[in-house]
Structure 1
Amino acid sequence: MLSSCNSSKSANQIHTVQGDIKVSELGLTLSHEHTMSNYGKDISEASNYDSVQLFNQVIPYVKQLKALGVNSIFDCTTAYFGRRIDYLKKISEETGVQIITNTGFYGAANDRYIPEFAYKASAQAIADIWIDEFKNGIEGSQIKPGFIKLGFDDGKSPSAIDTKLFEAGLLTHLSTGLTLAVHTGENLEAMLLQTQLLKKHNIHPSAWIWTHAYKLKDDATLIDLATQGAWISLDGFKTPNTTEYVNRIKLFKEKKLLHKVLVSHDGNGFPSGGAIRPFQAILEDLVPALLQNGFTQDDVDQLLFRNPEEAFRIRIK
């Protein structure tokens, strides 16, 4: 457990790939993007990139994001799925955008990015790996994770391994205070299991981000979970779904739950070496549409500044 002194200090700080900052320094934040990933490639190749091509593509693009006002990005590419903290650090240094990396294993995508040892290891043994990254740094570096990234397979009952990884995430949270961002989508069985396990471990729902919640069209369920304190991540924004997003965000505002919504793109700066899957449309399209449809600048600041700051604040909940 965090001591009360360390807990107070952690609650006011967040780990970036360039070191600790105050959470109040996050600024305008994209809460779910991929600076790079090798989705689709074998786990043995997931961390191998053409670094020259990557930097030539990603650095200019992230500089464009910085010019648009983006100050921080939460990078959701996990270990064994293409996480490269050395590359993230260089991109952050070159662009001035603060990048926050993660600990955890990605349980979605039919479990193709889960390391073999995790199937035999206990939840506590897996949690110990993630806790060590938080306390001592990732892969022998000084870089520490700012959140826990996990996932459940789409359209399936939760598997034993995905469930064990989530329990490991809960144990990690109880030791570190890191928030869990969990790929859940429209898998209601996975959502129900997660809420049950949160309750079993006496962890408040505010420690959990329902990632890809936009895929579920049942707004009543999203509103119910937000009312309980969970974070609802509408992280698949693209220009064509502007009207849908404005209407859904408006519903949360009407229910006085705007403070529980995160918005992002699930973009990718270097998807398996392909063209950028962009993540600037929120600033170019969604924000203007919100302001034209009854939202105030303070509402926009709530979504892009204050909500990420609160969602990822490091404290046991």
Structure 2
Amino acid sequence: MSATKGKIQTVRGLINPDELGITLTHEHILFDSTDPINEPNSEKERKWRNQDLGASRRKVFNEPVSLDNIGLIYHHGWKNKDNGRLGDINTAVEEVNVYKALGGKSLVEATSIGIKRDAEGLLKVSNLTDTHIIMGGSFYVHQYHPKWVTQNTSEDLAEIIINDITMGVDGRNIKTGIIGEVGCSHPLHPEEEKTLIASAIAQKETGCPILIHPGRDEHAPLIAIDILEKAGADLKNVIMGHLDRTVFEKDTLKRIGEKGCFFEWDLFGREKAYYPANELIDMPSDAKRIADILWLANEGYSSKILIAHDVCTKVQTLKYGGWGFSYILSFIVPRMLQRGYNQDLINKILISNPSQALAFTK
């Protein structure tokens, strides 16, 4: 039997599922999303920078995050370079330690190739906080793909993903424990279809779970699932992320469930209805997330639900006035208990479900 079968792979090595404890399944501890936004790439963005802000505020795009600009940055999100950089080890340790003090034990660090995954940094954070960190792999959305991705086949890319799982990232013996977040746009870019297929191939070889970042469309998760299924992926070992901003029809949720995937609501704490990445939808409130999850649990899917915050900007961290990794444990769990959840269901969502979702099948 393989050494990984039934185990969870962290940056410090393999652990048993019962060692995982309370787990957030989609976060970013060390991360950099700035590369594709160095210059305005759309008429809308040029208008935002040159007109909407006024001459005195155009420079906000290149300013460090501060009290002077945090309101604009919070509204416009990733358009500010500094906001998309999470690279300080000491800050990361402080943020994770607050989560740990509330009972948190493990985090999935979903940074994949293209958004500056930092294996050595994650190992340092894991050791300094004594928490389990499961590091991501595969490739983010096509705008962030390294140029060499286009020159390789799905089979070639699968070998890279497999090597990160079995040998470690950049030969450092620090191994990925999840294939993802695998980035998808809508409509799906051909290069993203290629990386989806590569991820399925890598899963078939290793038994490592897959985490999907679907495109921003109601049908995008099912499109990704169809490609994975045709490529031979084990859908029971797939997590469909970002459901909060993607799926609004209960029938779609049921169709995802019928395929066997795990459901992930991973944007807790983002209650501002305006969503700059897709202005055609309103970001749901945490109350809506809580209600939708309870509905799904009552439909028979309580063992397939996962939650997180997807911290990926400075303004989401405690240091810059955000909620950090501790918000779910501090504020959401008490609200859940007020709104029809029992402790057994919460333990499922935070402990037993992650221990199943993150376990290798080979």
Shorter chain as denominator, the TM-score bin is: 0.7 to 0.9
Instruction: Quickly say closer, same or farther: Cα 1:102–1:272, change in 2 above 3 A.
Output: same
Alpha-carbon distance, 1:192 to partner: 3.0
Instruction: Quickly say closer, same or farther: Cα 1:50–1:33, change in 2 above 3 A.
Output: closer
Aligned residue for 1:71, secondary structure, equals strand
1:41 pairs with one of 12, 21, 35: 35
Task: Give 2:44's aligned residue.
Answer: none
CA distance in 2, matches of 1:71, 1:64: 11
- Amino acid in structure 1 at the alignment position of 2:123: K
Q: 8 Å contact 1:246–1:290 — kept in the other structure?
A: yes
Alpha-carbon distance, 1:228 to partner: 2.6
> What is the percent sequence identity of the aligned residues?
26
Q: Does 1:247 align with 2:247?
A: no
CA distance in 2, matches of 1:207, 1:19: 20
2:345 pairs with one of 296, 299, 304: 299
2:261 pairs with one of 216, 230, 243: 230
- Amino acid in structure 2 at the alignment position of 1:297: Q
1:152 pairs with one of 171, 184, 188: 184
CA RMSD of aligned residues (A): 2.5
- Amino acid in structure 1 at the alignment position of 2:20: L
CA distance in 1, matches of 2:311, 2:218: 24
Task: Give 1:119's aligned residue.
Answer: 150
Instruction: Quickly say closer, same or farther: Cα 1:228–1:302, change in 2 above 3 A.
Output: same
CA distance in 1, matches of 2:102, 2:92: 15
Alpha-carbon distance, 1:169 to partner: 0.3
Task: Give 1:175's aligned residue.
Answer: 205
2:301 pairs with one of 257, 260, 270: 257
Task: Give 2:358's aligned residue.
Answer: 312
Aligned residue for 2:127, secondary structure, equals helix
Within 5 Å, give how 1:59-208 maps onto structure 2.
59-107=93-141, 111-149=142-180, 150-153=182-185, 156-208=186-238
Aligned residue for 1:117, secondary structure, equals helix
* Deviation sequence 1:220-271 (CA, Å, 0-9, x none): 2112211331111100001742311221111012101111111100013757
CA distance in 1, matches of 2:205, 2:127: 30
Greater alpha carbon shift after TM alignment, 186-195 vs 134-143: 186-195
Greater alpha carbon shift after TM alignment, 162-171 vs 60-69: 60-69
* Deviation sequence 1:196-238 (CA, Å, 0-9, x none): 2233234332122111011121122112211331111100001
CA distance in 1, matches of 2:315, 2:207: 30
Alpha-carbon distance, 1:43 to partner: 9.5
* Deviation sequence 1:67-89 (CA, Å, 0-9, x none): 01110000011123121111111
CA distance in 2, matches of 1:214, 1:36: 23
- Amino acid in structure 2 at the alignment position of 1:87: G
Listed as ranges, the gaps of 5+ residues in structure 1 are none
Q: 8 Å contact 1:195–1:205 — kept in the other structure?
A: yes
Alpha-carbon distance, 1:185 to partner: 5.0
CA distance in 1, matches of 2:303, 2:346: 11
Q: 8 Å contact 1:36–1:269 — kept in the other structure?
A: no
Q: Does 1:22 align with 2:16?
A: yes
CA distance in 2, matches of 1:80, 1:257: 33
* Deviation sequence 1:134-164 (CA, Å, 0-9, x none): 11111111111101011111xx221110000
Q: 8 Å contact 2:9–2:134 — kept in the other structure?
A: yes
Alpha-carbon distance, 1:98 to partner: 1.1
Q: Which runs of 4+ in 1 moved over 4 A?
A: 42-46, 269-274
CA distance in 2, matches of 1:206, 1:300: 21
Listed as ranges, the gaps of 5+ residues in structure 2 are 39-80, 272-284
CA distance in 2, matches of 1:57, 1:72: 17
For the pair shown, the structure with the greater C-alpha radius of gyration is 2
CA distance in 1, matches of 2:152, 2:316: 30
Aligned residue for 2:34, secondary structure, equals coil
Q: 8 Å contact 2:10–2:135 — kept in the other structure?
A: yes
Task: Give 1:10's aligned residue.
Answer: 4
Greater alpha carbon shift after TM alignment, 223-232 vs 129-138: 223-232
Within 5 Å, give how 1:50-65 maps onto structure 2.
54-65=88-99
Q: 8 Å contact 2:31–2:86 — kept in the other structure?
A: no
- Amino acid in structure 2 at the alignment position of 1:234: W
